[in-house]
Amino acid sequence: MTEVFNLLAQEPKKRVTRVRRGGWVWGAAEGAKLRVLSLGAGVQSTTIALMAAHGEIGPMPDLAIFADTGDESEATMETLSWLASGNVLPFPIVHVHGPGRLSDAILSRSSERAAGFQPVPFYTARGVGKRQCTSHYKIEPINRELRKLLGYKPRKRIPAASVEVWIGVSTDEVVRAGAAHEPWIVNRFPLLETRMSRQDCETWLVRNGYPVPHNSACVYCPFISDHDRRVQRDQAPRDFTRACAIDRALREPGRKPEYVHPSRKPLEEVDLSTAEERGQGNMLLLCEAGCGL
């Protein structure tokens, strides 16, 4: 069972670490040799980076690391470029990559793909596939870079709690918080320490004169909501075209049919219209509420 971060049991001034294949820490980790922000360039991690720059979270991280799957949205890459421009953050951003482009792995015709292995949890007739993309294309590349920064070669033992990794989990998604997978890493969740939700992050960004980033995800991520998919279709048509191309490829001859959208329909055929666009909004405006809905 995944260990879940307990938001209520901690005092900010006290370091608390639970060790289970690693750990997590409340507040700064004592004795950490390296403090790193895991940067996705979405709302939460961008807020953490800027709050650190303003001195509202500390100690200052030594650097941020962005793990690139090769299929990030144009908006995410624009946010990353802005953050790394040299006059926004007082610490550097290191750009790392996984084992090639994630979409190449999806489209691979290797024997394990033919047997049904898929790194991304797309939708099938039997449910949802196993999620491997975050581990292979995010966590592992970051950990390799951390090991290199510490000066340790592969398989060399690193002392426990050597690295404090900041992760952008907000209070509305606390179930995503948990222990690190490596004993030499402790995860820290600054937004939980400051009791900030995603909306709080957006409010902080606007109040301080910063743009609110788009959600960060691969363009074909199966967890993208219909709202965000509409935004992608209308505001980033090239990203939407790439997502549709991957979706079509999932059902090429010789493959077990998979879908990007939970409706299990081809993405380009999915009705992404809003309730208002479908006429339901007008109905509700005129309705006398006699049906009790």
Instruction: Set out the domains of the chain in order of their start, with CATH numbers.
Output: 24-207 (3.40.50.620), 226-278 (no CATH)
Task: Give every CB contact of residue 26 below 8 A, 6+ residues apart in sequence.
Answer: 10, 11, 12, 14, 15, 16, 188, 193
Instruction: Give pTM, 2 decimals.
Output: 0.81
CB 98 within 8 A of CB 232: no
Q: What phi-psi label fits residue 277: left (phi over 0), alpha (psi between -120 and 50 degrees) or beta?
A: alpha
With CA atoms as reference, report the closest residue to 162 among 151, 170, 154: 151
What is the distance between the alpha carbons of residues 113 and 105, in angstroms, rounded to a whole number?
A: 9
Contacts (Cβ under 8 Å, ≥6 apart) of 2: 178
Sheet with 24-25, strands from edge to edge, namely 24-25, 185-188, 163-166, 34-38, 63-68, 93-97
Q: What is the pLDDT along the chain (293 residues), one digit of tens a residue?
A: 444 445 444 444 444 444 334 487 888 888 899 999 999 999 999 999 999 999 999 999 999 999 999 999 999 999 999 999 988 999 999 999 988 889 888 887 543 444 445 678 999 888 887 777 888 889 999 999 999 999 998 889 999 889 999 999 999 988 888 888 888 999 999 999 999 999 999 999 999 999 999 989 999 999 999 999 999 999 999 999 999 999 999 998 888 889 999 999 999 999 988 766 666 544 333 333 333 33
* Angle subtended at Cα 144 by Cα 48 and Cα 74, rounded to the nearest 5 degrees: 50
Tell me the HSE value of 246 on the side-chain side, using a 13 A CA sphere: 25
Class of residue 219 by CB neighbours under 10 A (exposed 0-12, middle 13-18, buried 19+): buried
- CA dihedral (27, 205, 97, 222) positive or negative: positive
Q: How far apart are CA 224 and CA 233, in angstroms?
A: 12
